[in-house]
Amino acid sequence: MSLPTRLIVCTECEYETREPQQPIRVLYQLADNILVEGHHTRGWCHSCDDLREIEDLDAARFQQTLERYRDHLEGRGPDFKAQARAVFDDPTLSPGAKIRLSVQAFRNRPPDNLEEAIWELEALLAALRARQSPPRCLTCGSAQTARVVFAEADGLSQDFRHRCGGQLRLVPAEEEPYRMRLALHPSDYYLTTEGVLIEIRPKL
């Protein structure tokens, strides 16, 4: 699988990198070897001194997903198929916007086994709330990380400064018409609830 990459540069020095690096899935191993899928996000690893994928430990995000699953279980959840149809029938949306919004609706669909998914999320939330370590780098395992979020308007990192004092900038596609494509190999990262790597399994 190959995907077009996005160029990320520093506004003050010659640092640059590209994303995505590798598509990964984070799986936390709970008690009795139960596996629950987590989240990851981009961040700066001070040990790697580079932009990396790091754990996303935003408990509020997991809680929102849990509440959405509970609504579906009780029959209060939205019909994602109807949402996708409404998006494609909306004449005011561009083709790109229709695809983006329909994919978003599809991703928000509930899992087939809602009761099991709810139990797993409750167990993961309890483990994350008891956790001691901050988010770890998924490359080296260091807990010396900082989340990097790029602003929609100008592509600049909002709450992070590079070691030179500059900001990181996500270069828009129109400034790089011939974007590099990278061969990507999806992998599953198995972690303890403290973020310690157990093993990496390539997805075949």
Measure the CA–CA gap between 65 and 104, rounded to whole angstroms: 14
Please tell me the predicted confidence (pLDDT) of residue 184.
Answer: 67
* 103-108, long-range: CB < 8 A, 24+ apart: 105/80, 106/80, 108/68, 108/80
How would you class 47 by CB atoms within 10 Å of its CB: exposed for 0-12, middle for 13-18, buried for 19 or more? middle
Q: For residue 170, what are its two tokens?
A: 């996500």
Domains of the chain by residue range: 2-57+131-202, 59-110
pLDDT at 55: 96
- Is pLDDT at 80 greater than 60 in this prediction? no
Residues 32-59: what's their mean pLDDT?
92
Instruction: Check pLDDT > 80 for residue 11.
Output: yes
Q: How far apart are the C-alpha atoms of 45 and 137, rounded to whole Å? A: 6
> By percentage, how much of the chain surpasses pLDDT 70?
78
pLDDT at 159 over 80: yes
Tokens of 63: 């809680």
Flag whether pLDDT at 7 surpasses 60: yes
More confident residue, 68 or 146: 146
Percent of the chain residues past pLDDT 90, beyond the cut = 42
Q: Round to whole Å and give the CA distance between 160 and 83.
A: 36
Nearest to 87 by CA among 77, 75, 97: 97
Least confident of 62-76, 85-99, 149-163: 85-99
β-pair partners for 137 = 54
